[in-house]
Structure 1
C-alpha cells in the first residue's frame, strides 16, 4: 500500500490504511471491517463520513448531518434523481439481460446521444465504465492505425485496467516505470508550466503557449516513431482533472490534433470528466473548435449507475469490426440504456449546459473575489462548474502550498462542504459539484472556503 510519502500528491488528503486514522474516529468499527475485507480501500477525511442518503446536491451521514456535495461528478443530475430512479426500477421490473437480443431502448439511447455530438460521430459502443471505454478506444486506435504507441499527458489519469493504467502517468510518475509505447508530454499549464501566458505571443502566434505546448505533442509523436511504435492515439482528458483543472490555450488542440493525424494516429477525447454539460457545453472539446476521432464517456452518463460509451465515426467503427471481435455482456443492457436516456432527458429539459455555464461563471467570479482577499490563492481556473483553486505560498514564485492544501478538505467537511484535491503537487482545491448545483449553493461553498483559508493561513 502506498505510504503518504510516495502516493500521488492529489491523494495527499486521502487515507489508505487503518494506521492513518488517529485519535477519535466516529466509525472506527466500520472502518476496521472495511479494511479487513475490502481491498484497496481509499477513504477521505481524518474522520471518514458514513453516508447513508443522498438528494440533489446534498449528502446525509449516519448522524443526521447534511453536506453540500461539491465533489461528486458520479451523481451528475443529482443524487437519487427521481426520474432516473423511476426509469431504472421500471425497466428492471420488466427485463434486464445481456446485450445479444434486440432491444429498442439502447438504439433510442444511441440515436439520442449521437445527436448531441458533432456530425460524423454517430456510432456507439456501450461498456460499463470509463476505464473500459478508454481501454476499448485505444484498442480501436491500434487496430485501425496499425501502430501501438500513445501520447498522453504528464500526471494524467485514464482508468485502471492493465492497459489504461499504463497511460495513467499520475500513478507512474517515474518515466523509468512506464511502458515503452507510452510517451507523456507536459500538459498546457499556462500558470506554472514551462510555457506561460506571461511569455509573450498570442494563442494564434507561432511563439504563443498553445503552439509551444502542441509542439511537445509533435515531439512525442516523433519519439514514438523513433522507438518503432508509431502513434496509434493521442488521448487527453479535456479538463485536465488530475493536472489541476487546466484550461488549454484556444489553439492547443487544433495544433496537437494536426500533429497526431499527420503521423497516422487518432485523436481520443477522454470526456469522462468533462462530458455531459459539465463545462457549460455538452462536451469539453467543443470549447476548442475540434472534433475528435473517438470520444469516451463514463460515470456522469448514468447518474451513479455504471455506464460507459465509446463514440466514433462509422468508417473507424467498420474498420475495427472488420479486423476484431468485441462484445460486452452488460454494456448497453436494457436497464443501463433506460437510465442513460433518462439522464439525457433531464439534461435537455433543464438545459444543464447553460445552467453549468451560468452558475460556473458566478462561482468563478466569487472565487476571484476570494483571490483578491487571500494571497494564498495563486490561480482560479476551469470551465463551467469544474473549477480549480490553486494554493501557493508565494505568488511571485508560485511555490505550491501542498501541506496547507491537504488540510482544506477536512476543514471544509467540518463546515458541511465536501470538496477534493488535484494537481501534480496536490495544491489545487477541486470544485466539481453535481450538474444541478445552483446559484443559491455558491454562497455556501465560497463562504466556507473563505473561513477555512482565513483559519489555515492564520494558524
Structure 2
C-alpha cells in the first residue's frame, strides 16, 4: 500500500502499518507475548492485530471498551457498533427474537416483509418507490451479490473503482479491492481511477476530472473487447483517504457510467445509516440515485446482517437467490431495532452537533500544528491528513502512525487510512456525546504536543 516505508522495521509490510509488527515484540509483557504466540499458531499469519501494542478487550458498553484489568478505552473507530457497544435495545431485540424463532427467508414472516418495506422507504427517487431488498450476512456478501447482479444484467464484466478502494473479502470483491495490496490479485476486468482528492485538486474541477477518468477507463475496457458492468464507490471514499466534499462528483460519474450501459453501485457499508449526519445515506449528499445500494457493518450493531437495495428490473430474470442466514429472523430483529434507534433517539442530529464540535477542534489543531495538512469531515466521520510539509503536501506516514499509537497508549482508539496510511480515520459511535468529544480532542492534542 505504501512506498514510504524506509523507517519501518525490516520485513514490516506497508499494509501492516496500523497494526502490530510480530517482528518487533520486545516491548510487550510476557502474558501478551504468550497470547500472541498462541494466536499466531492457531489462527495463522493472515490475521492481524491493531496497534504497536495490541489491545486486549473483554467487554464493551456504549462508547467504551474494557480490558481484563478494567481499563477503559474510548472507542472512536468502530463503525460496526455504530449505536455503541451492547446497545440495550438491540441486545433485547436479539435476545427476545432468539428465544422465539430464528429461521430463514423461505417461510412467510411478517417482520421480514415489514422491515424490507421500511428500509426501502428510507431511499429517495425510484429506489424508494419501487426498490426491493435482498439480505446477506456481511457487506462483502452484499457487494459480491451487487457485482453478480450487475454482470448478469448488463452481460458485461468490466468494473471501475477508485485507486485505494475496499469492497470486501470474498473472492469476487477482493478482486476489486486494490487497497488489499500487491499480494491480493485484482480482476483482469478491473480498472482504477483516482479518488477525488480535495486536498490536492481544485474543488471546481474534481467532478469533471473524475467523470473524464471514468470515461477513459470505459474506453480502455471497450478497446480490449469488453464492456462495463459497474462503477462501485463508497460515497465518502473511506479507504482512499476520506473525501467528503465537494458533493457534485458522483452524479456526473453515474451519467457517464449509464451512457456506457453500466450500473452505478453505491457502497454504503461505511457511509450509511446516518454516519454523515445530514443524510441517512451518503450518496444522497451527492444528489445521485444509484442503481444498487449495498449495506453492511452498522446495520445490526454487531449482529451479522447486510443487504442490497436495487431496482427490481435488475433481478427480474436473475434466477433464484437464497442465503441461509441472510435475513434470518434474528438478523431482521437487530436491523429493525438499529433503524428505529437511529430515528427515535435523534442520532443523526447528535452526529451533526457532536461532529461539529469535533470538526472545530480538529481544525484548531490544523492552525496550530504544521504536520496537520488537512481536516475533512461530516457527521461523525473525520479524516486528518498528516504531511511532512504543507508546500509539498508529502504524506507523513510515520507521524500518523505515531499519533494512532500515541492515542492507543492514552486509551483512545482510532486508525489510519489512505494509500500511505497517513490519514487519521476517526469514526466514533453515533451515541458520542460532547464529553466524549472533549476527551477525544484532549487526547489528540496531548499526542500532537508529545511529537
TM-score range, shorter chain: over 0.9
Offset at 1:106?
Answer: 1.3
C-alpha distance after superposition, 1:338-386 (max 9, x if no partner): 0100111110101222221222122111100111111110000022111
Aligned counterpart, 2:441: 446
User: Is the CA contact 1:11–1:421 (under 8 Å) kept in the aligned structure 2?
Assistant: no
Aligned counterpart, 1:96: 102
Distance verdict in 2 for CA 1:450–1:96, change over 3 Å: same
Superposed, 1:75-154 pairs within 5 Å as 75-121=81-127, 122-154=131-163
Q: Which runs of 5+ in 1 are unaligned?
A: none
Offset at 1:325?
Answer: 2.5
Bigger mean CA offset, 180-189 vs 323-332: 323-332
C-alpha distance after superposition, 1:292-321 (max 9, x if no partner): 000000010010001111100122232xxx
- RMSD in angstroms over aligned alpha carbons? 1.9
Offset at 1:439?
Answer: 1.7
Aligned counterpart, 2:254: 257
Bigger mean CA offset, 166-175 vs 146-155: 166-175
C-alpha distance after superposition, 1:182-207 (max 9, x if no partner): 00110111213xxx12xxxx63xxxx
1:14 aligns with 2:23: no
TM-score by length of 1: 0.92
User: Is the CA contact 1:70–1:418 (under 8 Å) kept in the aligned structure 2?
Assistant: yes
C-alpha distance after superposition, 1:25-59 (max 9, x if no partner): 35222222211111322101222111111111111
C-alpha distance after superposition, 1:269-311 (max 9, x if no partner): 0000000000011011111111100000001001000111110
CA distance in 2, matches of 1:335, 1:21: 41
CA distance in 2, matches of 1:173, 1:241: 19
CA distance in 2, matches of 1:317, 1:439: 45
C-alpha distance after superposition, 1:78-132 (max 9, x if no partner): 1000100000010101111232111111112111111111132220000000000
CA distance in 2, matches of 1:374, 1:104: 56
Say which of 382, 405, 412 aligns to 1:410: 405
> Aligned with 1:64: secondary structure?
coil
> Aligned with 2:388: secondary structure?
strand
C-alpha distance after superposition, 1:163-222 (max 9, x if no partner): 1011001124599x5332000110111213xxx12xxxx63xxxx222112210111111
Superposed, 1:39-438 pairs within 5 Å as 39=44, 40-121=46-127, 122-172=131-181, 178-192=186-200, 196-197=201-202, 203=204, 208-280=205-277, 281-318=279-316, 322-438=317-433
> Aligned with 1:36: secondary structure?
helix
Aligned counterpart, 2:5: none
Bigger mean CA offset, 225-234 vs 74-83: 225-234
Q: Which runs of 5+ in 2 are unaligned?
A: 3-7
C-alpha distance after superposition, 1:114-167 (max 9, x if no partner): 111113222000000000000000100011111111010101100011110110
CA distance in 1, matches of 2:254, 2:187: 23
Aligned counterpart, 1:38: 43
Distance verdict in 2 for CA 1:403–1:123, change over 3 Å: same
Number of matched residues? 439
> Aligned with 1:243: secondary structure?
coil
TM-score by length of 2: 0.93
CA distance in 2, matches of 1:215, 1:140: 26
User: Is the CA contact 2:404–2:413 (under 8 Å) kept in the aligned structure 1?
Assistant: yes
Offset at 1:16?
Answer: 5.9
CA distance in 2, matches of 1:85, 1:7: 40
1:23 aligns with 2:18: no
User: Is the CA contact 1:120–1:314 (under 8 Å) kept in the aligned structure 2?
Assistant: no
User: Is the CA contact 2:174–2:186 (under 8 Å) kept in the aligned structure 1?
Assistant: no
Distance verdict in 2 for CA 1:92–1:128, change over 3 Å: same
> Aligned with 1:44: secondary structure?
coil
Distance verdict in 2 for CA 1:228–1:258, change over 3 Å: same
CA distance in 2, matches of 1:23, 1:425: 25
